[in-house]
Amino acid sequence: MADKNIPVGPVEPTPDDQQEFDEKIRDNYPKNRIIGIIHGIMHFTGLGFYWPNTVIPKFVFDITGSDFLVGLTTSMAFGMNQLAQLFGSALVEHMAVKKRPLLYYGLLSRAPWLLIALSVMFLSREYTFPVFLLLYIVANACMGLYLLVWTDLMSKIIPIEFRGSYFGVRNFLASSATALAGIAAGRIIEAYLYPTGYAISFFIAFLVMTADLFVLSRTTEVPSLKVNPQISVGNKIKSIPTYFAKDRNFAMYCFIRSFSNISRAGFPFYILAAASRLNLTPQESAATVGTFTFALLVVQTIGNLVWGYFSQKRGWKAPLELSCLLVGVISFIVPSLNSMAGFITAVAVSGLSNSGFMLPSMNILMEFGKPESRPSYIGIANGVSAIGAFISPLLAGLIAETYSYNELFYFIGAASILSYILMRYYVIDPRFVKEEEMPDIEVNNNT
């Protein structure tokens, strides 16, 4: 239940209360900034040992030999990650303090990696994939709940005037750590191959990402001045049309962002396309895990600084637009590549576009709606995006398996350019919408 001392519903905090709250946030910011950056470095180091766009696709293909199952795995993972956030908003929006549920969901999202490492090491190949898929889906669903609460917490403890530079620096350092972890993962997999190399890599991911929760627990959080009433998950879902009807700009953003997931559907297939086109041996193919992860993340690291600085004045929508355009252009070039250098360059450009998608798509949600409704905005946006996140990789896998990698990248190129046009001309950046112009949205268990 919500803290009985925190206003619920239409009760508004006084200007003095708001001023005191803002002062506390700014006083705590120097400490929270350091904690947040250290946490980001550790979290993304762990993530580098199972990077979803390189390590996981190669792992699934090594077990199954199927492009479709690579797409299915990505589809199920991304879809559940974002769909869980739709349900999660009803679980936390009424809470004035978010740190405890954040740590709880964080632990649940990390525990499956220990089980994945053990199953890869000790189960026979015929059972490994179904067990892995189940655990991977659970890990991503819990990570979705974790990210929902984390994003809401960050919107509260990081003042808006510092967000561009803060997340730019944080993600720059975090992506640098991920790149180094990706190299290490590639070396481990190249040295030990399946299953030992993957088991070691996944176990290291579990250890590092569990340790980062301790760092995150040191964050100082000020209780919210106002929260929405607690409502059931069912009524929260029923309230979605209300949000869309009252905030048409938000509705347009949600549906266009869902469609733009097609822009990211090709990432898992760069490594597979290169292996096929260049006729790589199993050892050479394993080595590309580290090479591609490093290339993707080094440029993504630089991109985080560029996009963070760019968005400080321009808002978060412009990087989203440009990331779709970049993917569109490079996707039309990929079918003509016939060298490892060419593929590495394509992966690097994709890394730049990926940072232009990931960083803004998270941060722009901190600026839609009023603070008390922010978990709903985050959950709804990511829940609707789950439709595209589920369909896009599945469709990509089907196209690759039924036709070829060339047709897949042509399709992604056309869809990405269309995404750019839609985002450019049909969405207003919420950074430039005044708070008094934002709709008041009240929902309850009678909704």
- On whether the pTM is more than 0.85, the answer is no
Distances 372 to 82, 108, 228, 317, 421 between C-alpha atoms, Å: 21, 26, 6, 23, 32
- Cα dihedral angle (343, 349, 352, 353), rounded to 10 degrees? -110
CA distance 405 to 412: 11
Mean pLDDT of successive 10-residue stretches along the chain, which has 447 residues: 51 74 88 93 91 85 87 84 76 80 92 95 89 94 89 84 78 82 86 88 95 92 79 78 88 91 84 86 76 79 76 79 92 92 89 80 80 80 82 88 92 95 91 70 57
**DSSP secondary structure letters along 355-403:** HHHHHHHHHGGGSSS-GGGHHHHHHHHHHHHHHHHHHHHHHHHHHHHHT
Distances 386 to 86, 101, 152, 254 between C-alpha atoms, Å: 9, 22, 19, 10
CA distance 293 to 286: 12
Six token digits for residue 145: 């709940």
Q: Are the beta carbons of 102 and 143 closer than 8 angstroms?
A: no
Q: If we measure between CA atoms, which residue out of 354, 200, 144 comes closest to residue 270?
A: 354
Six token digits for residue 240: 């979605």
Q: CB neighbours (10 Å) of residue 35?
A: 18
Spatial CB neighbours of 393, under 8 Å, sequence gap ≥ 6: 71, 72, 73, 74, 75, 78, 265, 268
Q: Helices (H) and strands (E) in the chain — how many of each?
A: 16, 0
Q: What is the pLDDT of residue 120?
A: 93
Six token digits for residue 128: 């490994």
> Which letter does DSSP use for residue 200 in this model?
H
Q: If we measure between CA atoms, which residue out of 407, 387, 386, 385 comes closest to residue 396?
A: 407
Bridge partner residues of 227 (DSSP): 8
Q: If we measure between CA atoms, which residue out of 92, 71, 75 comes closest to residue 83?
A: 75
Q: What is the pLDDT of residue 194?
A: 84
CA distance 57 to 191: 18
Provide the CB-side half-sphere exposure for 33 (13 A, CA): 16
CA distance 420 to 219: 37
CA distance 420 to 317: 10
CA distance 340 to 279: 11
Bridge partner residues of 239 (DSSP): none
Q: Is 37 helix (H, G, I), strand (E, B) or coil?
A: helix
Mark residue 123 as left, alpha or beta (left: phi above 0; alpha: psi -120 to 50; beta: remaining).
Answer: beta
Radius of gyration (C-alpha) of the chain in whole angstroms: 21
Place domain 32-437 in its CATH homologous superfamily.
MFS general substrate transporter like domains (1.20.1250.20)
- Cα dihedral angle (393, 399, 402, 405), rounded to 10 degrees? -100
CA distance 429 to 69: 37
